[in-house]
Amino acid sequence: IFKDKGSDGIHINNGNDGGGDFIFGKDGNFRAGAAIYANNGDAFGTAWGGGNAAWLSTYLYLNMVKAIRLGPVALSGGLWRDFQLGGGQVVTGFHTDGDWEMQGGDDKVYYRPIQYLIGTQWVTAPSV
């Protein structure tokens, strides 16, 4: 273990076999070989393709839900007592002739699909 006056920090020598020093830098960073662990929590090295902040940001952008919306409105055909919507659909309104008996084919519902944004692609929610 050593620190030279004016050096970049405290060094722990890893021997003569080419492993390189471990350095606790004056800037708060820790260096181990080619990897740098920054004082802000970021890690730089070949495993991350650079810094882990960039890798993590790209991963989250491409794989996580960023927004949710209702898709285009649709109107059902005439209802009969046991009408069911397909997966990922929600009822947003009703159309009736004034007598909500749900028979005779004159009552209808407005519905819309639930959609979510992953990356740049809007995806319609399936039924699970």
Q: Residue 65, exposed/middle/buried by CB under 10 A (0-12, 13-18, 19+)?
A: exposed
Q: What is the pLDDT of residue 36?
A: 82
Main-chain dihedrals φ then ψ at residue 9, nearest 5 degrees: 155, -165
10-residue mean pLDDT series, the chain (128 residues):
76 73 83 80 73 79 93 83 81 81 75 94 89
Q: Can you tell me the distance from the alpha carbon of 26 to that of 8, in angstroms, rounded to the nearest whole number?
A: 6
Sequence ranges of the domains in the chain: 9-63, 66-124
Q: Can you tell me the distance from the alpha carbon of 51 to that of 29, in angstroms, rounded to the nearest whole number?
A: 13
